[in-house]
Amino acid sequence: MKLLIASNNAHKVREIKEILAGHFDEMVTMREAGLDIDVVEDGLTFRENAVKKATEILDKSGFDAALADDTGLCVDALGGAPGVFSARYAGEAHDTAANNALLMENMKDVPDERRACRFVTCIALARRGKPVLAVEGKVEGLLLRAPAGENGFGYDPYFFYPPFAKSFAELTSEEKNSVSHRRAALDALCAALDAEMAAP
């Protein structure tokens, strides 16, 4: 089965290919397939957005299967915000610095003991003639008051991961990938695919 990955993020694509290698004959990105399909992510949950993206891309491509994800940061003290609006928290420009600045402003009076947060990833796999598989992965952390580290992207410098006593931006890519929300979701997807194959 040939899989279309709805991402051109090199790090994300490499991780997907490594973890799902045993389940697909070939995996290509949108760019590699010469496709430019824009899906409006207007769902109220990560699952809705991931499923919509995967199904629309499958419908508009000639592939057997399409994989898409939606990811965001959920902060308890903000009622789960930025959530599905993580990439456009400060506006449609998808400005990382502005997003982080607004998050820090909204959290400036929140005490340390109330700064719990988590990264959430939902991955959806749409396939022709089969139901969509949608799985979720999470990683728990605390929101810092100032950035730490130079690695990662997005909210990573502000996301403190207690088991390693570092922010996500202070971790190596190998360390982050071993515990990340995306890794948890991909592992869950593998388990779901394995269960399908094992079913009589």
pLDDT tens per residue across span 32-71: 988 888 888 899 999 999 999 999 999 999 899 999 999 9
At residue 27's C-alpha, the angle toward residues 33 and 17, to 5°, is 130
**Residue among 30, 55, 21, 196 nearest 127 (CA):** 55
Phi-psi region of 21 (alpha: psi -120 to 50; beta: other; left: phi over 0): alpha
DSSP 8-state secondary structure symbol assigned to residue 35: -
- pTM of whole model > 0.75? yes
Q: List, for residues 130-148, the tens digit of each pLDDT value.
A: 999 999 999 999 999 999 9
* Residues with catalytic roles: 70
The letter for the amino acid at 122 is C
Structure tokens at 76: 């308890």
- Domain borders along the chain are 2-198
Regions of the chain with pLDDT less than 50: none
- CATH number assigned to the domain covering 2-198: 3.90.950.10
